[in-house]
């Protein structure tokens, strides 16, 4: 976050970094009260724990749903309320190709949470379009971040796995996902409403 703030500052704008628990409704309320205007919001909310559904711990399952679903809902809820007052805006949720397009053994809870993100996106998009708020979802496959590594993997092992399991034979660069978000937030995408933009190198087909 600090690196992002530095980039924004170097570009001649102003950045403020705030840390909060996305499952804390009171924290969201205090932050949203200090933001009279929002144009674009990107909700990147997600934790993952892998286990077969029959073996998963209750607390682990609850945590995934609490962060990935309730946390994203709280984000949207507060963003929508600000945007309604300020004349509209654009919200981009980050989902996953897991859940919306495919499933993996051991990832049932995560898949359920990300399928819920897609559903929340579509419902909110219909509800808020009359208020000038356009909402969409980007559903990435593996991206070159720490979440693309399985337990015990190093970069070589991760890349070898993807070279045989992904049609594009690699993870996406973070800049590729960011580029799609910038486009979705722009006037060029003004007719894109309630859609899942799947970016997984062809894995889901």
Q: Write out the catalytic residue numbers.
A: 110
Reduced to 3 states, what is the DSSP secondary structure of residue 137? strand
In this structure, what DSSP letter does residue 15 have? -
Is the four-CA dihedral 109, 201, 173, 8 of positive or negative sign?
negative
Is the full-model pTM beyond 0.85? yes
Cα separation, 58 vs 55, in Å, equals: 9
Please give the backbone phi and psi of residue 80, each rounded to the nearest 5 degrees, phi first.
-60, -45
Tokens representing residue 148 in the block: 């693309």
What was the pLDDT predicted at 71? 95
What was the pLDDT predicted at 61? 96
Tokens representing residue 104 in the block: 């993996």
Report angle CA 196, 62, 69 to the nearest 5 degrees.
25
- The pLDDT tens digits of the residues spanning 88-129 come to 999 999 999 998 788 889 999 999 999 999 999 999 999 999
Is the four-CA dihedral 98, 145, 156, 199 of positive or negative sign?
positive
Q: Which residue has the tokens 């654009």?
A: 90
Provide CB contacts within 8 A for 60, sequence distance 6+: 49, 51, 109
pLDDT profile of the chain (205 residues), mean per 10: 82 82 83 81 91 95 96 95 94 94 91 96 98 97 89 92 93 95 97 97 91
Please give the backbone phi and psi of residue 139, each rounded to the nearest 5 degrees, phi first.
-115, 90
């Amino acid at each position: 976050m600090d690196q992002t703030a530095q980039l924004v500052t170097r570009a001649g704008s102003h950045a403020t970094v705030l840390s909060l628990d996305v499952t804390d409704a009171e924290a969201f309320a205090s932050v949203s009260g200090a933001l009279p205007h929002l144009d674009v919001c990107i909700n990147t909310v997600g934790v993952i724990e892998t286990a077969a559904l029959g073996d998963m711990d209750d607390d682990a399952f609850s945590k995934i749903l609490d962060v990935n679903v309730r946390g994203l809902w709280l984000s949207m809820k507060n963003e929508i309320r600000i945007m309604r007052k300020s004349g509209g805006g654009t919200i981009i949720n980050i989902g996953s190709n897991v859940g919306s397009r495919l499933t993996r053994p051991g990832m049932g809870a995560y898949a359920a949470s990300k399928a819920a993100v897609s559903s929340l996106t579509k419902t909110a998009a219909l509800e808020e379009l009359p208020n000038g708020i356009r909402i969409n979802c980007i559903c990435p496959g593996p991206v070159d971040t720490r979440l693309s590594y399985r337990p015990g993997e190093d970069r070589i092992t991760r890349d070898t796995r993807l070279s045989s399991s992904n049609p594009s034979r690699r993870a996406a660069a973070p800049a590729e996902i960011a580029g799609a978000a910038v486009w979705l937030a722009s006037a060029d995408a003004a007719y894109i409403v309630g859609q899942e933009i799947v970016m997984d190198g062809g894995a889901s087909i």
